[in-house]
Every structure is written in C-alpha cells, then in structure tokens.
A and B are shown apart, each in its own frame.
Chain A
C-alpha cells in the first residue's frame, strides 16, 4: 500500500530488488520493496532475522557490502535518485541529508579518537565553520541529547562511557547537521530496557523538533507499537504486509503477521495452571561476589556483582530472576552451576552445603544442575556431531555407550527433532533447533535443576514462543525445577511461577509473577515495567477482532 509521492516525501523507494552473492541461501536479499517516508514520519521495517531489513537501509546510504548489488528499482531522497549518484555526491549527502545510527554502540565509535573529535571531523568535512563554532555546535548537540557534562564528554574516549551514552553520541553525530532522513538500524537492541526507553524518547523528541523523517528497523513489536506511523512487515526479503500502524496491528491480513503478533509476550501474563511445588531444593544464603577488591588490581572502585542475595527454589517450581545487565543475575546462575566461586555466602542443594563437599560429592551434585546458555550458535562445539555433544554428559557419568545413544535418540524426539539428525553437525540447524539440542543435552544428565540463562533472548520472537512452550512441556514430563534468567519481565511472565527482580547485585522485589507485574512494589520494578515498549498496546485484543 503505497501513497503517491507528495511534496513532503523525503524518501521514496520503488520496486527495489537487491541480489545476494552466489551461494547464499536465496538469490535475493530483498525483492520488489516499495515504500515512502514523509517529513516528520516514522516508518518501521519489522521482521525476524534474515528478513533483509538491514540491507534496505544499507542500500539507501550507499553502503551495501561487496557482493550485494541492486538489480532494479529506484531510491529517491528528496527527489534525487541515490542509485544513480556518483560516489562523491553520495559522500556529500551522508551526514548532511541522510544519516544512520547503528545497532552496537560499543563498536560503532572509533576507540582511539575522542568523542568530540569524531563529530568534529564530520563538521570539518561538510561545513566551513571555524574551530570555535564547531566546538560550540557540538556542545550544543550534546546538551540536546541529554549528555551530562558536555565538555567532559567532548574530551572522553568511547570506552569511558556507558552503552546508553555512546548511543546518544551516535545520535548526536547523526543529527548534528539536521538531516532530512534519519535511519536507525536496531539502535536499542543492545541496550537495557530502561535505557532503550530513554533513547526512543530522545529520537522521538528530535524528530518532532526538526521534522526529520525516520526509517526505523527493528524486530521488537513493542517498539513498533510505540513509535511507528507506518509499518512494513518483511519476511525473507519480501514485504508481507504494510500500512499504517493501526491498520497492520489492528487488522492484520496475512497469517504471518498474525502469527508474529500472537507470539509477542503480553504485558499481562495469561493465567497458568498451578504447579505442584514440593520441598526446597536450593537454599541460597547471603551470596556475595566482588570483583577487583584485592590483589594487584588498580580498580579504585571494586565491583559488587552480587550483594547479600538469598532465595529459595522449590521442587517443581519455575523461578525467574529478572534484571538488566550488571544486575548480577548471571553471576548467581553461574555460581549455582558451580562455574565459579563467590566471596561469601553459601548454597545448599538438597540439604548439602556446596562448599563443604569433597570433589566426588561435588561432581555428583553438579550433574544434578544443568544449564542452557544464551547463544545457541556458540553453545555447541561446531566440530562434533550433535549426538556426540548430547552423549558427552552421560558418558562422563559412566553410562554405557549404547544406553547413552538410546537416551539421546529419545531426547531428540522429546524436543521435536528427528532422531536421525544426531549424526549432523550444529551448522546444519537453525538457532531455535540448536537451542532445542542444548536442552536435550542438558536433559541427558537427568538434572533436578535446570538453569536457563537468557536461553530465549537471542531467538526470534516466534521461535522464542516455541522454546518456552517446550520448556513447559518437558518440565512437566521430567519434573525438575527451572531457574529462568532473563532481562524481559514479560517473558518471565509467560513461564515463571515466582520471580525475583535484581538490580545492581541485590534483590529488590520478590513474589508471584502475576503480583509483581500487576502491582510492583519497588521503584525499580516500576521503572522496569514502565519502560517496556508497547505495553499500552494490547496485542491479544487486536487478534481477537480478526478471528
């Protein structure tokens, strides 16, 4: 659904088709893409990984990686065809008429140049302001993006700033010359949810102030619900559905769109059947972990990763630990899995104090606790077959080879993968499938406690829903306790019974997941919930109307 180009059309894309290099999994990155963005408007491209959304933005900027090329179509920025422009012309447009903000603030800035200098070189390239004027302009934009103490930031290096601050610098760099088009390629995906909310607000403010057209690429439906005027849903390089946000979200026509919307975790979790909860299996008391307090370290401020954390995990229960980066949730999980030590406190598992056990007893205990890690692409040894990885655990525990392989075959069926796939290598599986294999690997040890350390965070939203469902299934079948670590309260809501909220190493709130989501007591929890994008949008409601 495209509109005719009106005088205030900033970007006009028509029938864009871009090919991939030979040997890719499909011949084209994107096909027949058409859309317009008007001044002051936000158009969101949404899709799962591999949908080609980033390629479109790279094409507009003229920064397609080698191997990719435009087969057909036009891209017009303020009436000028970018695809026909010579490199010199494109260079003069970049930064002045169109600018881009990328996903990873950690690596987007040159580590050996001060932040001020990096914006300064942009001004030197495109304007003829003198040094004093440039500096004033930079300080001004720093103030606009709400950076504290602009002169200090000017002289700082990127590694001295936080992720949120770095992204603000990137936004400042992109908007300092007030471009007509701002492209944001997943700018908040790598940030904490509270920081994300601030950055989105910032982008929105600047857009309203200067009337910039914004092309926003994301995979997060919540974000789209909050900020988009127009939406285009992409799948494997083709536009599945597009239109205004209300139209696409309110009355989705395509099955794919409906499926994606259905997979978005709701702000208010569906009621779950009560779990059979048994005795306490893990009792953690006053856990403490500090980095950098002793030895040769030059850190003046030691880092308190975990401070005085105590909790209980009961048999058959799903306990969620929710927190942003630096909250200490991973440290707790890893301590439980005995992957490293704490400085203080104790953990009792099944009544036995971990620290007091000898090596063999510790070994025996360790088997009972297994982990599923976050990154499915790195949790499996790429040189060993999937079957080898699954039987590794049981073989270590003295199970016979025949038995181990039999168990592996059974487990593969339970995670809905064909048993003959045991002979394949990890690179033949998708992310979601690999995560299932990791679950099977963990189950092979017959654990009593399964820790899912951000196990679904790296997956597409539709796959996420499947994995969560799988976890529920096998938990019911195998009867273990699940410790679910995540940064997303809504995801926790879908699977957990109880939840702990952690902030800066301490537990700030605890309770049943319904209670915490509906009626948060602690200020931090409240801010966490307030920052959730799209929480005003009832995805479930929308679907109901189309049924």
Chain B
C-alpha cells in the first residue's frame, strides 16, 4: 500500500545569471591588453616597427651604397658619406661602417623592414597551410595516416638544412626564403590543429550538431575551428619569432636573400672576419635581433596565458 506522495514543490527556478558582457570577446580583449607580457612585447615590437618604417628620416643613408673613403669606421665618427650619385652629405656613423664602407646603422634600420616582413609572411603561410592539413587530418580518418607521415618526414629534415638546401638548390629571392622557412614550421601547426580537431570532434555538442544534420563544412567552421583560433594566434607569434631567427642565421651563413637586400644577418656576416677588432659589428645587430625576437616571444607567452588556456599548452616556440 503506497501512501500518496506530497507534491514536489519546485525550488525557486534559478534566475538566469546577470548577463555577461555582450560579446565574450570584449572581456577577453581586456584581459589580453592588461597582461604585462603582452604589453612589453607589443611595446617593444611597435618601437622596432617604428624604427623600420621611419628609417628614411632617422639620419640614414642608402644602405647598399658603400663609401670607399670610409671603410671600417668606428662607431660614433661623424664625417661625410658619398652617395651613389657622387655628392657627399654630412653623416654620423652611429654604428660605424663595414668593410666596404656601408653604414651599419642604416643597414640595421632598413633591415628591420625585411626581417619583420619575412617573419610575418612565414607565419601567415605556415598557419594557413598547416591549418588546412590539420583539419583534413583530424576530421577525415582516412587522410590522417598519410598526412601525418608526410608531416613526420618534413619534420625529420632539420630546419636549417631544409632551408639551406632549398635556397641553394632553387636560388631565387624573398619567395624562396619565405617558402623554405615556412615549410619547416608547417608540421607543428598541422599537429596543433589536428590535436584540437581530434579532441573537439568527439565533444557532445559536435555530436549534437551531427544529429541536427548540420553539413560537415558548417560543423568545421562553427563548432570545431573556433577552438583552434587562440592556439593558432599564439603559435603564429612564435613562428614569426623563429622565422626571423632562421632568416638571420641563413643570411649570416651567406645563404638566403640576395646581397643587395640588407638584413640583420648579412650585417653580422660582414663582421665575422674582423670579429676580434670590431666585435660590435656582430654584437650590436645581434642585440637588436635578440630584443625583437624576445619581444615577439614575450607577446606569444602573454597571449598564451590569457587566451583560452585549454589548448594553448600545445602551442609553443
């Protein structure tokens, strides 16, 4: 004999919590902007970029012309610089000149543009290609095996060697260099995106989307890819930093961009021979390079800490 039950008095329906900021992105942006590392990184980077952009107005001369009257001048000398056209202008050699009379200070500032441009281009190419491969690999099981083997093979060839081999075999200019460096970074991006796709693919809300008959491309675009955006941004900054380093190394070794394009690496390469007398030719640009790359790496670290930490652990330098 079951006694009649008292009716269930439902508790007060939890009121829907007070609205969060309208876009989730707004609070995220605020956190990003407040992060110390991001601030330092962006600040330093902007300063470097400014130097590069304003190079023509900061007391520089043509970086590729050498004044044979003023070779191996020590830093700080003020004197004259003979332009290509033959006329002489007063000039202070802030960082001295190299063995064929080119002003190192000018080369450094103009080189900023090249280095930053290469860094950005490599990052973009690597992220786009890597994301495509990562999505295909992660979502379509049949493609996973072959694509990952290919990525393994690319990763097996050490970065510098791959770049060295490609650039020396294929010669050419900026495009070859960007392409060669980007290839070495693609596998890491692909693996990152693949791991994001693999873990999100089995989430309940993706399964739900499938029962709702959502077509594959929409599932990828609305449900899966958004999870990859944050780690991709973080990874892109690290790739940019690495690319600048690799390009500098290549130029330093005498490979890479043609001689008339000033880069930090080629400036330092010029200083190799006379290192014992003029260590500053290598060390000054080296410092510049280090500060720039450090700024980008700090930015990447800051972004990693603030943006959606779940997948960011896999993104790294």
Contact = CB atoms under 8 A, between A and B. Distances in A.
Interface of A: 259, 262-263, 266, 268, 270, 337-339, 363, 366-367, 369-371, 373-375, 378-381, 383-384, 389, 392-393, 396-397, 416-418, 421, 424-425, 427-430, 432-433, 438, 441, 445, 462, 465-466, 469, 540-541, 543-544, 547
Given A378-B203, A541-B3, A428 B209 contact: no
Given A438-B208, A544-B6, 6 more contacts: A262-B8, A268-B2, A379-B208, A392-B209, A428-B19, A433-B14
Top 7 A-B residue pairs of the complex, sorted by shortest distance between their CB atoms = A393-B212, A379-B204, A378-B204, A381-B205, A373-B204, A428-B17, A540-B5
Nearest to A547: B6
A519 to B, nearest CB: 15
Contacts of A384: 222
Interface of B: 2-6, 8-11, 13-14, 16-17, 19-20, 24, 203-205, 207-215, 222-223, 226
A544 B209 CA distance: 46
Given A268-B2, A396-B215, A428-B20, A371 B208 contact: yes
A339 B215 CA distance: 14
B207 A367 contact: no
A530 B203 CA distance: 35
A421 B205 contact: no
Contacts of B2: 266, 268, 270, 540
Nearest to B200: A381
A363 B19 contact: no
A469 to B, nearest CB: 8
Q: Pick from A366, A374, A381, A430 the residue with the most CB of B within 10 Å.
A: A381
A395 to B, nearest CB: 9
B13 A416 contact: yes
A68 to B, nearest CB: 21
B213 A363 contact: yes
B226 to A, nearest CB: 5
Contacts of A427: 20
Contacts of B9: 259, 262
Contacts of B16: 417-418, 421, 424, 428-429, 433
Contacts of A396: 212-215
A424 B208 contact: no
23 contacts: A262-B6, A270-B5, A339-B211, A363-B213, A366-B213, A367-B213, A373-B208, A378-B204, A380-B205, A380-B208, A381-B209, A396-B212, A396-B214, A418-B16, A424-B19, A428-B17, A430-B14, A433-B14, A433-B16, A540-B5, A544-B3, A544-B6, A547-B6
A455 B299 CA distance: 43
Best-surrounded residue of B16, B19, B214, B222 (most CB of chain A within 10 A): B16
Given A373-B207, A392-B212, A441-B208, A424 B6 contact: no
Contacts of A465: 8, 10
Contacts of A421: 16
Contacts of B13: 416
A425 B26 CA distance: 14
Nearest to B2: A268
A259 B20 contact: no
Nearest to B207: A339
A30 to B, nearest CB: 20
Contact of B226 (A383, A397, A429, A438): A383
Contacts, number: 102
Contacts of A397: 213
Main secondary structure of the interface of B (DSSP, over half): loop
A540 B2 CA distance: 9
Contacts of B214: 392-393, 396
Contacts of B11: 259, 462
A262 B213 contact: no
A259 B19 contact: no
B6 A543 contact: yes
A129 to B, nearest CB: 41
A383 B229 CA distance: 12
A383 B20 CA distance: 13
A339 B212 contact: no
Contacts of A259: 8-9, 11
Contacts of A339: 207, 210-211
Contacts of A262: 5-6, 8-9
Contacts of B215: 396
A184 to B, nearest CB: 28
B299 to A, nearest CB: 24
A396 B222 CA distance: 13
Nearest to B227: A383
Nearest to B203: A378
A383 B226 CA distance: 8
A424 B20 contact: yes
Given A370-B211, A396-B214, A429-B16, A379 B5 contact: no
Nearest to A451: B211
Contacts of A373: 204, 207-208
A13 B244 CA distance: 62
Contacts of A266: 2, 5
A454 B152 CA distance: 41
A532 B198 CA distance: 38
Contact of A540 (B3, B203, B207): B3
Contacts of A544: 3-4, 6
B212 A543 contact: no
Nearest to A370: B211
Nearest to B222: A384
A462 B226 CA distance: 35
B5 A543 contact: yes
Contacts of B24: 383, 425
Contacts of A543: 5-6
Which residue, of B11, B208, B210, has the highest number of chain A Cβ atoms within 10 A? B208
Among B6, B10, B211, the one with the most A-chain Cβ atoms within 10 Å of its Cβ is B211
A530 B205 CA distance: 36
A436 B309 CA distance: 29
B14 A432 contact: yes
Nearest to B9: A259
Contacts of A338: 211
B20 A425 contact: yes
A425 B19 CA distance: 9
Nearest to B16: A421
A371 B8 contact: no
Contacts of A383: 24, 226
Interface-central residue, A270, A371, A374, by most chain B CB under 10 Å: A371
